[in-house]
Amino acid sequence: MLMLLLILVLLGYAWGRFRWHRCQRMFYGLALLLFFAAGCGPLPAWLLARLQAPYAAQPNVSWTSRNAIVLLGAGTTRVTATNQVEPTIFADGRILEAYALYRSCRQAERDCKLVVSGGDAFRNGVPEAVAYATVLQAIGVDRSDLLLESRSMNTWQNAQFVKPMLDTYAPQRVVLVSSALHLHRAQLYFAHFGIDAIPVRGDYADVRLSWLPNAWNVRLTDVALHEYVGVLTYHLYNAMGWNTPPSRYGAA
């Protein structure tokens, strides 16, 4: 988002140097319009509606004899006072939803594994999978039911590295837990690797419409644009033959 604004401002400045003042005013105006559309809320509201709406209602998961719940990470943070590495606040909803699904599965007396996927993308010294597993064990997940994938640095690698783990466990049902705004791209990538997963949101982002721009709306615009770029990049790479060939669609 900030990059787009900077590009528009620089283009306006460049046209001004050539005394093309009409083009200069146009680019400055576009930058101002984009800033207010993002900061006041209309732009992120429009972008997020198309990302999150399909996942607003939580599905009623029917558990089978063997089930896998895949939890995607949302980063880690280092607590300066204690030097501990913990999940970020943006991961709380995902962790709680994954635990609720796990508990529902166990109460149904079914076999259930909770696959936690995420490497040390934030370079805090501890992989997301390990930090999240510590919390999950503390709130009641049996260690024997946790499968940790701690190499992935992005969503594509989440799907790529979780695939062989699911092949080994061979679940009849796979549930994918992430943020509502992330699920479309995550489900697309997992399907590419032949993983037919039920998407379940751990959180839902809400825009704060206002007359004056605020940082929260700008941040949501940035995150939403990142998701759209990820989807477009996926289709471009497929068209260019740069992605690995897709696996046969179906359960892992």
Look at residue 13 and tell me if it is in a domain.
Answer: no
Domain with 142 in it: what CATH number? Answer: 3.40.50.620
Distance of CA 53 to the CA centre of its chain: 15
- Dist. CA 10–CA 172, nearest whole Å: 54
Q: Could you tell me the residue range of the domain that residue 59 belongs to?
A: 52-206+232-240
Look at residue 35 and tell me if it is in a domain.
Answer: no
Are the beta carbons of 186 and 94 closer than 8 angstroms? no
The encoded tokens of residue 85 equal 């590495």
Residues of the chain with pLDDT under 70: 8, 15, 249-252
Are the beta carbons of 99 and 142 closer than 8 angstroms? no
- Dist. CA 111–CA 93, nearest whole Å: 24
Look at residue 165 and tell me if it is in a domain.
Answer: yes
Look at residue 181 and tell me if it is in a domain.
Answer: yes
Domain count of the chain? 1
Look at residue 178 and tell me if it is in a domain.
Answer: yes
Question: Residue 46: enclosing H or E segment and its boundaries?
Answer: helix 42-52
Please give the sequence-ordered ranges of beta strands (E in DSSP) within 64-205, or none if there are none.
66-72, 76-79, 84-87, 111-117, 146-149, 173-178, 197-201
Look at residue 32 and tell me if it is in a domain.
Answer: no
Which of 178, 106, 177 shows the shortest CA–CA distance to 139? 106
Radius of gyration of the chain (CA): 21
3-state secondary structure 216-237: HHHHHHHHHHHHHHHHHHHHHH
- Dist. CA 158–CA 119, nearest whole Å: 9
Query: Which pLDDT does position 252 carry in this prediction?
Result: 40
CB neighbourhood size of 172 (10 A) = 14
- Dist. CA 19–CA 46, nearest whole Å: 36
Render the burial of 127-152: b for 16+ CB within 10 Å, e for the rest.
bbbbbbbebbeeeebeeebbbbbbeb
Query: Which pLDDT does position 23 carry in this prediction?
Result: 79
Look at residue 212 and tell me if it is in a domain.
Answer: no
Question: Exposure of 98 by Cβ count < 10 A (0-12 exposed, 13-18 middle, 19+ buried)?
Answer: buried
Query: Which pLDDT does position 40 carry in this prediction?
Result: 95
Look at residue 147 and tell me if it is in a domain.
Answer: yes
Are the beta carbons of 58 and 96 closer than 8 angstroms? no
